[in-house]
Amino acid sequence: FGAHIEFALATTGPWVDAKSPVKVMRFKAAKGETLHFRASGSDAVEALAAIVALVERGFAIETVEAPQSPQK
């Protein structure tokens, strides 16, 4: 996504760049804490929808199998 995406423990921040793997891994949130997300940019709505979908499926990553080539 081209959107700028951030998250925080409180709506007042501090906000963390959600597109930075290092910053995400350094962030310390206890189990059960609420995370707040915000996004800006042309595809911000789509980016937030993707985050909601990821959370709803328990952070499981969807995989798509490659089509099988015809057997000879």
Q: What percent of the chain has pLDDT over 70?
A: 92
Residue 65 is predicted with a pLDDT of: 72
Average pLDDT per block of 10 residues along the chain, 72 residues long = 94 94 90 93 95 86 71 64
pTM attached to this predicted model? 0.72
Residue 72 is predicted with a pLDDT of: 61
- Tokens representing 62 are 């969807």
Q: Which domain holds residue 11?
A: 4-56
- Helix/strand/coil for 4: strand
In the β-sheet with 4-8, what is the strand arrangement from edge to edge? 16-17, 4-8, 36-40
Residue 27 belongs to a domain: yes
Residue 63 belongs to a domain: no
The total number of structural domains in the chain stands at 1
Residue 67 belongs to a domain: no
DSSP string, 14-53: --EETT-HHHHHH----TTPPPEEEEESTTHHHHHHHHHH
Residue 65 belongs to a domain: no
Residue 71 belongs to a domain: no
Residue 61 is predicted with a pLDDT of: 77
Residue 57 is predicted with a pLDDT of: 87
